[in-house]
Each structure stands twice: as C-alpha cells, then as structure tokens.
Chain A
Amino acid sequence: GPKVLQIPSHQIIDMGQMVTLNCDPVSNHLYFYWYKQILGQQMEFLVNFYNGKVMEKSKLFKDQFSVERPDGSYFTLKIQPTALEDSAVYFCASSSGTHAETLYFGSGTRLTVL
C-alpha cells in the first residue's frame, strides 16, 4: 500500500534545542498532517497543511511549532525551542483529498527531550 516515510525514527535532544522532524508523504497526496502520541495512548491532532498553508491547528500546536513543505520536498515539523513536555511520538500522515479520504501514516518519530 501507499507508504509514508518518517525520518529519523528516534531523536534525543536537550531541552531548548531546535528539532526538525521529516516526513516524506505519499507521492500524489495533497493533504498533510501531524499527530502527537504519548505513551501509546491517544492520537492528538496537531496541524494539517494543504497547498502551502496551515488549514487548522490545535491548542497543542504551540507558538514554538512550525510546519512547511518547501518545493514539494519533505513535510517538516520544527520545534524551536523544545520543552520537556514535547517528548512523545510524532506521526505524519497524508491523504489524497478532502473529507472522505483515508489517512496514511508513517511509523512515527520518537522524540525524547532531556
């Protein structure tokens, strides 16, 4: 099936540093998402992105967070500066269209902030 690739699979950084999580979405998909999951529990919506713009973001998407997809390359989530509570697994997803389209997820990036 369609594959979403996330790089790296694990990242350990010190609090206050910047981190960039990378996502290579399914090639013909147009909508991109980031979700946050703590301790294998609920998938929390962070943000979605279409046509170079953020469509909607949640309260979890703090001012320190940003997303972009320059020139059709990786869809990235940047956190600057990081905080201890940012430790989680971050999942990228993509879909081909609006509303009734299934999301395809990557395997996640486990972020540990020390």
Chain B
Amino acid sequence: QQKVQQSPESLSVPEGGMASLNCTSSDRNFQYFWWYRQHSGEGPKALMSIFSDGDKKEGRFTAHLNKASLHVSLHIRDSQPSDSALYFCAASDTSNTNKVVFGTGTRLQVLP
C-alpha cells in the first residue's frame, strides 16, 4: 500500500510551457512535504519544501498544499530542457522516527 501517489507517471511539455505535477497522500499524519528532482545518474536534490496550506513560489517553481485533501502540486512555468528529470514528492509525519517517504515519481520531459 503506497502512501504517497504521484500523477501523471510521465509528462512531456514543450520548452517554455507549463508543467503540472500532482501528489496525493493516504496518511493524514503527513504534515511536511517536499519536492525533489533527480537527474539521470545523480541522487535526488530538494527543489522546495512546503509545510503550510496555500502556495509557495520559488523562481519558476510554485508548490501548492491542501492538507484537508492531502494534495500537493508542483507547477513549473517556462519549462527548460534542463528541467527534464524524475520528480518526487516526499512526506514526513510528526512521529519521532523522522522517516521520509517518497512518492511514486513523475518523469518530466521538456521538448526543445
């Protein structure tokens, strides 16, 4: 039973376009969320965190969190070929074990 589901599995957008990635949790204990990006041959790297309901913008990236619906999204505007990567949503709860669970991943391809 996967606690963090992402959609779509894969996504292609033209250069300069908008990419929208979605993440839904099945565990209401998750309170802290991140988006990570993984380029081929590398480890994941954090893009941004979001802990409060609403929007959080960092440059071309905007995350949105709705804790009531357990939904997190990431929107990438003016997508660049260098944004082509595997994107993970990650979540952590308030227990004292510090476990961080990663979602199923979305593979983004930005076409020049």
- A residues lining the B interface (CB < 8 Å): 4, 31, 33, 35, 40-45, 48, 50, 55-56, 91, 93, 95, 98-100, 102-108
The answer to whether B44 and A99 touch across the interface, beta carbons within 8 angstroms, is no
- B88 contacts across to A, CB distance below 8 A: 43
Whether a CB of chain A sits under 8 angstroms from the CB of B46 is yes
Q: Give CA–CA (A37, B34) in the complex, Å.
A: 18
Q: Which residues of A contact B103 (CB under 8 A)?
A: 42
Residues of B within 8 A of A (CB): 31-32, 34, 36, 40-46, 49, 51, 86, 88, 90, 92-94, 96-105
Neighbouring A residues of B105 by C-beta, 8 Å = 41-43
Known pairs A43-B88, A99-B32, A100-B51; A33 contacts B100 (CB<8 A): yes
Task: Tell me, in angstroms, the Cα distance from A9 to B55 when the chains sit together.
Answer: 38
- List chain B residues, Cβ under 8 A from A33: 100
Q: Do A105 and B44 touch (CB < 8 A)? A: yes
CB–CB A100/B32 < 8 A? yes
A40→B39 CA distance, assembly (Å):
10
Whether A48 and B98, one on each chain, are in contact in the complex, defined by CB atoms closer than 8 angstroms, is: yes
Give Cα A108 to B51, complex, Å.
Answer: 28
A-B contact pairs, 20 of them (CB 8 A): A4-B43, A40-B86, A41-B105, A42-B103, A42-B104, A42-B105, A45-B101, A45-B102, A48-B100, A55-B96, A55-B97, A56-B97, A56-B98, A98-B96, A98-B98, A99-B32, A100-B32, A100-B51, A103-B44, A103-B90
